[in-house]
Amino acid sequence: MKKRFFGVLMSLVLIVGMFTGCAGSGSKSAADQLDQQGVADIPVNNDQKTPAGAAAEGTNSADLSERVDLVFYVMGDAPKDEELVEATLNEKLIEKCNATVDMQFSTWTEFQQKYANEITSQGADLIYIANWLNYGLLASQGAFVELDDMLNTVAPELKAMVGENMLNMCKVDGKTYAVPNTWAEYVSNGLKYREDLRVKYNLPVPDSLENLEAYLAGIKANDPSQGLLTVTTEESQGFKTAFDAAWVLNFKYPWVNANGLDYGLTANYDTPSDVYDYWFSTDFEDDMKMLKRWADQGFWSKSALSDTNNSDAYKNGLCVAEVAGQNPNKQITAIADFTNAGEGWQSAYIAYGEKHNVIYPGHATQNGTAIVRGCKNPERALLVLQALLCDDEINSIMQYGIKGVHYTVENGIYKNLQEEKGETVTFPYEGFNTWNLRNGATKLPQATDVELQKMFDKYAEIGAKTKFPNVNIYDGFSENYESYSAERSAVSNVMRQYLAPLEAGLVDDVDAAIAEFRTKVKEAGLDKCREEYKKQWLDYCNEYNYK
């Protein structure tokens, strides 16, 4: 059991390395730190099942005779009124479940390491999960409690509300380890750009590579001092790209960055089991030459490889477009920022998938909840989760705070009372950061959500016409790289050293730079990574019939 649990620790350590860009020596030091804590010696009951004596399916078998106090671990920072809202919430949970929850927050400082520690120490009972926190790999290695039997016996209302399709997307090796939220959120990658400048200079809508190039060149010609794109080396995109200007290739392919495959392999949405080699293709060569042309035109800084990410560049007018890491929610934020700036600026947004008609909502594992392996009261934890997600009154307290104190509802729209009065906001919208508890049937929209929902409705219409209607086939896949972690780290290093300059167009001879990258990445162990990765991907496609 020690060996299996240590695998979980190593996976968590590698998560930290992946997100901090330290896939090499950083992973080792993190492993040493965890080993010093003694967590590798924690016993794990890998045979943990629903407690004996469970009732027949459709009944609630939980014994509520003793009060249970649970810890719920979530991402981000705690709101100022955490204790007040928590006390109000727990009054209702005691009535319904004879249980309480103690909300614990990671904060955004070194949150990957804190998340790893929370699981390895088994200090939490309920925990936020997401594919970007490597849910699938952790579940496969015993980090979470299996839920299938308990969903039938303890939480049938929860199972019915979430639905079989969503729960199936949370399965790992045929078993369910998490419960997703029920709000269909479209986080479609796209381009955010200054619409006022497009109109001012009579430029084309940047809805393709050709039009984006014309848009940027047109602004440069009319206002040479205006910054165009703020782009940097990738820190969190794993093994897809190394420089975020390459996100523009999403206009050309429905797979490039936030979705798709790794290690220069890819597969189109309509034919996911037909894997092909991008890095060694003529497409790759053509694309690198295009990015070189853009760099030569001055679309980004010549020091971009060493620049740090300026998240406020677009907000402050220092660039006219953002091509990486954008989604509809960020467009809504940009609209509000520009309104507050009072400069007459206008922000517009184009989802890359609108170009090739491949759009889908976030995967079920984008925001979910699991019960940590080692939880002493898994039945009660699941019963509490059912109340938090299914009970309208309890869900509203969890998400919005105390009605009449923190918020009110006008014409079906959420309004923060403290913000309206110009007071310090002590519990904002979704103040506990429980995106995993969004209930699509009862979620209160904010004023900005009206415009957001229009975007979602448009994307849902496009997504309904795809081969896998409104299904994110990519993000349900979880790579297990334990058998080739050394080669994986070496490939990552090569990508940063040789692929990033290529994608940034900051090389003198593109053909020579491509040849050097291909040689170096092969020497780093690319073939070994690809062989196992492709096998895992095809097994995943077969499991879900993505063919």
539 is a domain residue: no
pLDDT of residue 277: 95
Residue entry with tokens 């095809």: 538
Q: Please list the helix, strand and coil fractions of the chain in percent, rounded to the nearest 5, in that order.
A: 45, 10, 45
Dihedral-angle region of residue 161 (phi above 0 means left; psi in -120 to 50 means alpha; beta otherwise): alpha
DSSP notation for 279-340: TTSHHHHHHHHHHHHHHHTTSS-TTTTTPPP-TTTTTTTS-SEE-SS--HHHHHHHHHHHHH
Residue entry with tokens 């009261």: 377
pLDDT of residue 61: 59
Q: Give the closest residue to 97 by CA, choosing from 163, 53, 157, 182.
A: 157
Task: List C-alpha distances in Å: 62 to 102, 163, 247, 394.
Answer: 20, 21, 49, 19
Q: pLDDT: is 425 or 7 the higher one?
A: 425
Under 8 Å CB-to-CB from 373, ≥6 apart: which residues? 44, 45, 48, 122, 142, 143, 144, 145
pLDDT of residue 263: 96
104 pLDDT band, cuts 50/70/90, is very high
Give φ, ψ of 421 to 5 degrees: -90, 0
pLDDT of residue 13: 43
Q: Which secondary structure element, helix H or strand E, spans residue 510, and what is its range? A: helix 510-523
Residues paired with residue 191 on neighbouring β-strands, in sequence order: 350
pTM of the model: 0.79
129 pLDDT band, cuts 50/70/90, is very high
169 is a domain residue: yes
110 pLDDT band, cuts 50/70/90, is confident
Instruction: Check pLDDT > 70 for residue 345.
Output: yes
How far is 499 from 516, CA to CA, in rounded Å? Answer: 10
- Domain enclosing residue 86, as ranges: 47-185+364-400
165 is a domain residue: yes
Contact 369, 378 (CB under 8 A): no
Give φ, ψ of 50 to 5 degrees: -60, 135
203 pLDDT band, cuts 50/70/90, is very high
122 is a domain residue: yes
**What would the pLDDT profile of 290-321 be if each residue is shown by its tens digit?**
999 999 999 999 999 998 878 899 999 999 99
Task: List C-alpha distances in Å: 499 to 285, 380, 507, 521, 522.
Answer: 12, 50, 10, 9, 13
355 is a domain residue: no
Total residues found in the chain within this entry: 547
Fill in the DSSP letter of residue 498. Answer: I
178 pLDDT band, cuts 50/70/90, is very high
Contact 473, 217 (CB under 8 A): no
134 is a domain residue: yes
Both structure tokens of 254: 């429905």
213 is a domain residue: no
Max distance between CA atoms of the chain, in angstroms, equals 75
Under 8 Å CB-to-CB from 315, ≥6 apart: which residues? 334, 337, 338, 341
Distance between first and last Cα of the chain: 37
55 is a domain residue: yes
**What would the pLDDT profile of 41-97 be if each residue is shown by its tens digit?**
333 433 444 333 333 344 455 689 999 999 999 999 999 999 999 999 999 999 999
Q: Which amino acid is at 69?
A: D
Per the prediction, the chain carries an average pLDDT of 88
pLDDT of residue 235: 61
**What would the pLDDT profile of 399-448 be if each residue is shown by its tens digit?**
999 999 999 999 999 999 999 999 999 999 999 999 999 999 999 999 88
Domain total in the chain: 1
Q: Which amino acid is at 493?
A: N
137 pLDDT band, cuts 50/70/90, is confident
Q: pLDDT: is 109 or 98 the higher one?
A: 98
Neighbours of 497 (CB within 10 A): 14
Mean pLDDT of 496-504: 96
Both structure tokens of 115: 């998340």
How far is 237 from 500, CA to CA, in rounded Å? Answer: 12
How far is 443 from 123, CA to CA, in rounded Å? Answer: 30
Instruction: Check pLDDT > 70 for residue 485.
Output: yes
16 pLDDT band, cuts 50/70/90, is very low
Fill in the DSSP letter of residue 495. Answer: I
Helix or strand or coil: residue 461? helix
Mean pLDDT of 372-386: 97
- CATH code of the domain in which 124 resides: 3.40.190.10
Instruction: Check pLDDT > 50 for residue 26.
Output: no
Strands 407-410 and 190-194: unpaired
Task: List C-alpha distances in Å: 90 to 103, 154, 347, 418.
Answer: 11, 20, 42, 23
